[in-house]
Amino acid sequence: MAVIVIPKPAPSEYNPYYEKYVSKIAEGDVLALLQAQNEATVRLLNKVPESHAAFCYAPEKWSIKEVVGHLCDTERIMSYRALRIGRGDATPLPGFEQDDYVQAAQFDSRTLADLVNEFQLIRQATLALFRAFDETALLRTGTANNSPASTRALAYIIAGHEKHHVQVLRERYKVAG
């Protein structure tokens, strides 16, 4: 199978809310970036001791474990959207309330190692999915959370979302590595 470089989406291909994520990603090989992010984020998170994994930098903020769980949930949802849209399913897809998901998941009851392993597995599945799309599938658009969404935009959203949260982990949670 030929390697496809996924061009950066136009702003009309995603909800304006996601610009803060898409803008973090340069034009280029987003799949190579997703792979590199996976490796770097896992290395970073593996340096966090379990005794620090439930740390919240402020009241009402998520713990490190909850951030990792949120990354897992969001990547699953965005990949599911990409699957549906990439396969030509025109059914409008609902949004989700991230805080409700984090609260219901009880990520702090799990080990950080377990959450990091889950993150790795989800990312590998995401990469396999996007590598299987052809150019036509990548350009397909659908509706997610009452807004347009293209398959390719979802790849950039996933990458930018992770980049955002890794930056938060470094700056606010003082996760170093």
Q: Give the pLDDT confidence of 80-114 residue by residue, as tens digits.
A: 999 999 999 999 999 999 999 999 999 999 999 99
Determine, yes or no, domain membership for 9: no
Count the neighbouring beta carbons within 10 Å of the beta carbon of residue 132: 12
Query: What residue numbers bound the domain in which 127 lies?
Result: 33-171
Mean pLDDT of 112-125: 98
Determine, yes or no, domain membership for 17: no
Determine, yes or no, domain membership for 62: yes
User: What does pLDDT average to over the chain?
Assistant: 96
pLDDT of 1 strictly over 60: no
**pLDDT for res 5:** 86
Determine, yes or no, domain membership for 75: yes
Mean pLDDT of 18-30: 95
> pTM, whole model, 2 decimals?
0.96
CATH at 51: 1.20.120.450
The domain tally of the chain equals 1
Determine, yes or no, domain membership for 167: yes
Mean pLDDT of 116-145: 97
Determine, yes or no, domain membership for 122: yes
Determine, yes or no, domain membership for 63: yes
